Amino acid sequence: MEIYETQPERTDLPLVVMPVIIESMIEPFEKNFELLKDIARVRMYKDFTLDEDTIVERCAEADAIMVIGFHCADSILDRLNAKCYAFGGTGVASYIDLDKAKERGIRVCNVVHYGDHAVAEHTIALLMELARQVGKLDRQVKTGDWDGADGYELYGKKLGIIGLGGIGQTVARIAGTLGMNVSAWNSHVSEQVLTDLNVTPVDDMNELIAGSDVVSIHLPLLDSTKGIVTAQNLEALKPGTMFINTARAEIIESGALLSRLQRGDIPAALDVFDHEPLAADDPLCSIPGIILTPHTAWRTDGAYVGITKQVVQSVAAFCKGEDFNVVV
């Protein structure tokens, strides 16, 4: 296992450790480490593991930790002395106990608006798979099956977006070019934005869901949004309505989505889950007509550029006594 280090001789500088890394993010991170010259030394482990003991061992001497792709459980916080955790993503509340971090005087940073296009494009990819079953058709042809399958035309269909932030707006823009009629709940945006996107605001979530052919979740995970989509809301889904979540699983009331999908009348595509990684024997995996991807909506070359720079900037600011993308 290879270790990449910068300024290893500068033991007078704070040590920043990246205990695991996704291979495709190595190069963009290395390009941005120049921002830490004479500010902090970096130790990056060029592999990926979710083994907690390994992560703790690698971070034992760290003053700050760059977090890519793993959850900082309380047991990790309890075993380390680092005072800054810079997350390469949003929705950090699902990766670390923010209250506990605050109590211990630990700074937690995230990144912002790095993946609006990445996540929106993945949302559309999932929608296309639900509508046209490209993966299934590919497998059919490769096994000599030429029967095909009927598709679901998106032109003229109604898309209901729950959460019209940067990602939701990008989804709305793409869906509009496909000829879909777009409505949105939680659309705390200006009238000009709604006009520009040709989006109709709907104040009642049940009304939005009941009136949509496709429902897509794009809310950030905050204390105010955790469990905001309830079992009662999901009852408004008409049989056959497509349901997509590329935001956070915790936005939906615990257990409510599984219960609704187990009836077998809602085609769904999910990139986020209550427990990650998802076990092969999870009940979701046995529901027909459900498409599952391993929380990869954010993983694109373009998103990596924004993520890596902001993570390094967060650490640099911490080491200089400044603020950048601070959550707590």
Q: What is the pLDDT of residue 90?
A: 77
The answer to which of 16-25, 83-92, 143-152 has the lowest mean pLDDT is 83-92
Q: Tell how strand 181-185 and strand 199-201 pair up.
A: parallel
Average pLDDT over residues 7-35: 97
What DSSP assignment string belongs to 150-181?
Answer: -----TT-EEEEE--SHHHHHHHHHHHHTT-E
Residue type at position 145:
D
Average per-residue pLDDT for the chain: 96
Q: Which residues are catalytic?
A: 248, 276, 295
User: Rounded to whole angstroms, how far apart are CA atoms 31 and 207?
Assistant: 48
**CA proximity to 265, closest of 286, 289, 244, 245:** 289
Kindly tell me if the per-residue pLDDT of 136 is higher than 90. Answer: yes
Q: What is the pLDDT of residue 17?
A: 98
Confidence of residue 26 (pLDDT cuts 50, 70, 90): very high
Average pLDDT over residues 237-258: 97
Average pLDDT over residues 193-207: 97
Average pLDDT over residues 244-255: 97
Q: What is the pLDDT of residue 89?
A: 82
Q: What is the pLDDT of residue 93?
A: 86
pLDDT tens readout for residues 63-109:
999 999 999 999 999 999 999 999 998 778 888 999 999 999 999 99
Kindly tell me if the per-residue pLDDT of 302 is higher than 90. Answer: yes
Host H or E run for residue 297:
none
Alpha helices in the chain (DSSP H): 26-32, 52-58, 74-79, 98-103, 116-132, 134-142, 166-177, 191-197, 205-210, 231-234, 256-261, 301-319
In the block, tokens 């950030």 appear at 220
Kindly tell me if the per-residue pLDDT of 1 is higher than 90. Answer: no
In the block, tokens 């699983």 appear at 249
Is 276 in contact with 95 (CB distance < 8 Å)? no
Kindly tell me if the per-residue pLDDT of 230 is higher than 80. Answer: yes
**Cβ-based burial of 279 (10 A; exposed 0-12, middle 13-18, buried ≥19):** exposed
Kindly tell me if the per-residue pLDDT of 269 is higher than 80. Answer: yes
Map 79-123 to HEC letters.
HCCCCEEEECCCCHHHCECHHHHHHCCCEEECCCCCCHHHHHHHH
The answer to which of 56-60, 87-91, 149-153, 168-172 has the lowest mean pLDDT is 87-91
Is 161 in contact with 216 (CB distance < 8 Å)? yes
User: Rounded to whole angstroms, how far apart are CA atoms 6 and 41?
Assistant: 5
Domains of the chain plus CATH, in order, are 3-114+300-319 (3.40.50.720), 116-292 (3.40.50.720)
Q: What is the pLDDT of residue 188?
A: 85
